[in-house]
Amino acid sequence: MAIQKTLNNQLMIIQEFTDEYQFWCQNVLENSFFSKEQAGASVPPHKFVEWLKGLSLEVIDIDGRYDMRRKQLLETHYGLVTLSNTCENDRTKESFSHFYNNFRSYIIELQNFTQAIVLEEWGFDVFSGLKNNVVMKSGLQIELDRLSREGHPFCVGLARIDNFAKFEKAVGQEKADELVKTVAGLIQKTLRTYDEAYRVSRNHFIMCIKQSDISKGQRALERLRELLEKSNTLAALNDKNDISMSCCVASPTPSDEIEDLIDNLYVDLDTQIKEQGTVLTYQELSPLQRYILSDSEKNT
């Protein structure tokens, strides 16, 4: 009930933004076609602008997309204010039509942006369809607590698209985005319905493989490897680009700390996987029983 109330409050705030703009647009219309005595004061909206300026994007904006959209929305807002002044001075149908067409597009973008932010703040990565950093640590902590109380094992996997910055520079952002979305979809397909997957950076993904010992975690990475190899989309993107994926999986113990566990997985990827072109390599790292899997296309 508390969650629903909080969500409803957020949606009501979004509606307030829209209502303030609609009221302003009505006043601009009146000032454009009626006498000053008949028209109300045309005061530009301020609630959404203040919200945009105070919005914290550090946790959710792993691609820089939201910050760019925020800047564009602010620029468009001030552009609309300028157009509204032109309407009220020019007082022609053409001037108002130009303002109103831009206004309608802006309202749609405002609604799309605010709805996306609400989803992100509730833990959903809009870009990939996975969960995000907002809920990643708490989700893993729930499983660690269950392990401590009931002894149910689980595994944490970390997957990385190798040399991603180089790939994006070579083929452009559009194809790089397609690669990320494709990998995210294959990760979802790899996991069971009650498992969780999180996109934690532009090219890193964390998997929470529930009710699984290390051997089951290992098999999950094997399933992912097979799906990566069979993907026609990846095969097309991989043409002369040497796309590779590296993954590792850990089976936590009750005494582990989530942050230390994740840090160790990153260290494993950075220090243990040396050789590109290896299809599948396992390496035991006691006492955490971490395994390393390096998966890349072979040009044979």
**Alpha-carbon gap, residue 269 to 207, rounded angstroms:** 15
pLDDT value, residue 245: 87
Task: Quickly state the pLDDT bin for 163 (edges 50, 70, 90).
Answer: confident
Q: If you average pLDDT over residues 27-46, what whole number do you get?
A: 73
Q: If you average pLDDT over residues 152-170, what whole number do you get?
A: 92
Task: Quickly state the pLDDT bin for 12 (edges 50, 70, 90).
Answer: confident
Residue 282 has pLDDT above 70, yes or no: no
Task: Note whether 144 and 152 are within 8 A (CB).
Answer: no
Task: Note whether 204 and 160 are within 8 A (CB).
Answer: yes
pLDDT value, residue 272: 63
- Read off the pLDDT of residues 76-93 as tens digits, 9 standing for 90 and up: 999 999 998 888 777 778
Where would I find the H helices in 131-248? 133-150, 164-171, 173-190, 214-230, 232-237
Percent of the chain with pLDDT over 90: 60
The phi and psi torsions of 285 (rounded to 5 degrees) equal: -125, 85
Average pLDDT score, the chain: 85
Specify the 3-state DSSP secondary structure of 205.
Answer: strand
**Alpha-carbon gap, residue 94 to 25, rounded angstroms:** 15
pLDDT value, residue 284: 36
pTM of the entire predicted model: 0.84
Residue 290 has pLDDT above 50, yes or no: no
- Read off the pLDDT of residues 177-210 as tens digits, 9 standing for 90 and up: 999 999 999 999 999 999 999 999 999 999 999 9
CATH 3.30.70.270 assigned to domain 133-296? The reply is yes
- Read off the pLDDT of residues 61-81 as tens digits, 9 standing for 90 and up: 999 999 999 999 999 999 999
For 224, the token pair is 């992912």
Residue 167 has pLDDT above 80, yes or no: yes
Report the candidate in 280, 279, 284 with the shortest Cα–Cα distance to residue 299: 279
Task: Note whether 205 and 184 are within 8 A (CB).
Answer: yes
pLDDT value, residue 269: 82
Task: Quickly state the pLDDT bin for 268 (edges 50, 70, 90).
Answer: confident
What are the sequence ranges of the domains in the chain? 2-121, 133-296
pLDDT value, residue 34: 67
CA distances from 174 to 71, 167, 168, 211, 237 (A): 21, 11, 8, 37, 11
Task: Quickly state the pLDDT bin for 57 (edges 50, 70, 90).
Answer: very high
Specify the 3-state DSSP secondary structure of 156.
Answer: strand
Give the containing element (helix H, strand E) for 67: helix 65-90
**Alpha-carbon gap, residue 56 to 67, rounded angstroms:** 10
